[in-house]
Amino acid sequence: MSYKSWPLGQLPQEFQRPELEQIKKLGYKWKDPRDVITMFEDKVAKFAGAKYGVAVDCCSHGLFLSLKFYKDVLKMKNEFVEIPSYTYCSVPMQIKHAGFNPKFKDIQWSGVYQLKPFDIWDGAVRWTKGMYKGGFHIVSFQLKKRIPIGRGGMILTDDPAAAEWFRKMTYDGRDLNIGYMEDDFEYCGYHYYMTPEDAARGIMLMDQVPKKNLDSGNNRTYSDLSTKKVFYE
């Protein structure tokens, strides 16, 4: 039996995701699909009041990379990272994955809170113009959020060096300004990048969602994680 090879990088029209062509019809212009990711990053950063945005495949990975920046780049030796007892479970999980331990506190919060002592802000359930708190502020595009791409997140920052490090780490440590064959791979990175199609969906959703919104979560939205044994192992 003979098999016909599927052309690399080509899909029949009926199987293609429509978002990239849809934003063209709305007046957005791009040459390389990765340009769409940059457009979305710039759009979110401007909306939030930050200088830079780095798109990631989920908010949890944005938190993880922010913690790793403190651990690996800034060489912080802290053992504990303080967070509210009532939050989503992936937050203490990312703290442990990054080489720290969570320290739970009974903190009242709404929309956003700090991962102390670091200048990292979990803003997964806040979406309103000018929301940037400083440092590394992470937003979510999960299906139940204000910008419901389905999956995705973004690290907002005013630090150009950190933004460049985050961008490389999301693409397996690669330098996208040079060819793959010429890259010496300065970092062992992660496969955490956002797809152009998801970025295009985010652009379209941002054009529809109001600029001011109520927080979609607070300490009363979640269960008490300080009682879970897994975070003390």
Q: pLDDT 10s per residue in the chain (233 long)?
A: 455 556 666 767 777 789 999 999 999 998 888 999 999 999 999 999 999 999 999 999 999 999 999 999 999 999 999 999 999 999 999 999 999 999 999 999 999 999 999 999 999 999 999 999 999 999 999 999 999 999 999 999 999 999 999 999 999 999 888 889 999 998 899 999 999 999 999 999 999 999 999 999 999 999 999 999 999 98
Q: How far apart are CA 9 and CA 91, in angstroms?
A: 36
Tell me which CATH code domain 35-209 carries.
Answer: 3.40.640.10
Residue 149: count of CB within 10 angstroms of its CB: 24
Tell whether the torsion through CA atoms of 163, 165, 171 and 174 is positive or negative: positive
Q: Is 194 helix (H, G, I), strand (E, B) or coil?
A: coil
List, in sequence order, the alpha helices (H) in 26-180: 34-48, 59-68, 90-97, 160-170
In the chain, where the domains are located: 35-209
CB 99 within 8 A of CB 71: yes
Place of tokens 């978002």: 19
Place of tokens 């759009």: 43
pTM for the full predicted model: 0.94
Cis peptide bond upstream of 33, omega within 30: no
